[in-house]
Amino acid sequence: MMATTHALMGVALVALVFPEVGAAPTAGVLLAAFVGGIVPDLDMGAAHRKTLHFPVCLPVATALVGGGLLASGATGGLALGLLAFLVSAALHSAIDVFGGGVEPEPWKRTSNEAVYNHALGRWHRPKRWVRYAGAPEDFLLAAVCGTVAIRAAATTPAIDRLLLGTLAFSAAFTLVRKRIPDLVSYANASLSHSRS
């Protein structure tokens, strides 16, 4: 799934669930959820879905932090922001198994590695419910999550603009997704040619 889908999903979840448990998510808390949804994909330059994806450890850490905050009654912006960040990052790490593999062209289904489970020391196989990041069904999921988040009472006009911009970026990415490997190859060939 696209990092933007994860960000929108995290914001939607926090905007809907936090008020139900008595925590009022501010714009900063919603922004923390947005960033938390993106951060696991910052490992794309390393071992993607292994370096920053923790499908077991992050949900456990999130539950421990959430339980600690509830027990202590901490409802300040920093505490809620940390929890929102963790919720969104944990959700991202846990649901990547429902997407495609880690290969550059996941529509070709050449990889059986969806997300690495550090607790078990092995890769989970991709379920491919969302075939690949940027697939039409991925954009549909992003649009649903974005709409839910925007319609939630907790969001602010500034957050709504961020979410709309994210949806626009997601749409553009979906349109060009299958061309990206060719563009990267072309760029690499051009750089090699210009150096010789």
Q: 196 pLDDT exceeds 70?
A: no
Q: 56 pLDDT exceeds 90?
A: yes
For residue 138, the Cα-to-chain-centroid distance in whole angstroms is 12
Question: Is the separation of the CB atoms in 2 and 138 below 8 Å?
Answer: yes
Q: Check: pTM over 0.85? Answer yes or no.
A: yes
pLDDT confidence of residue 77: 82
Q: What mean pLDDT, rounded, does the chain reach?
A: 91
pLDDT confidence of residue 153: 87
Q: 85 pLDDT exceeds 90?
A: yes
pLDDT confidence of residue 44: 85
pLDDT confidence of residue 113: 94
Q: 188 pLDDT exceeds 80?
A: no
- Tens digits of residue pLDDT in 20-48: 877 778 899 999 999 999 999 999 888 88
- Tens digits of residue pLDDT in 98-122: 999 998 888 999 999 999 999 999 9
Q: 131 pLDDT exceeds 70?
A: yes
Residue-wise DSSP of 49-112: TTSS--TTHHHHHHHHHHHHHHHHT--SHHHHHHHHHHHHHHHHHHHGGGS--SSSSGGG----
- Ranking 53-57, 114-118, 131-135, 152-156 by mean pLDDT, the lowest is 152-156
With cut-offs at 50, 70 and 90, classify the pLDDT of residue 180: confident
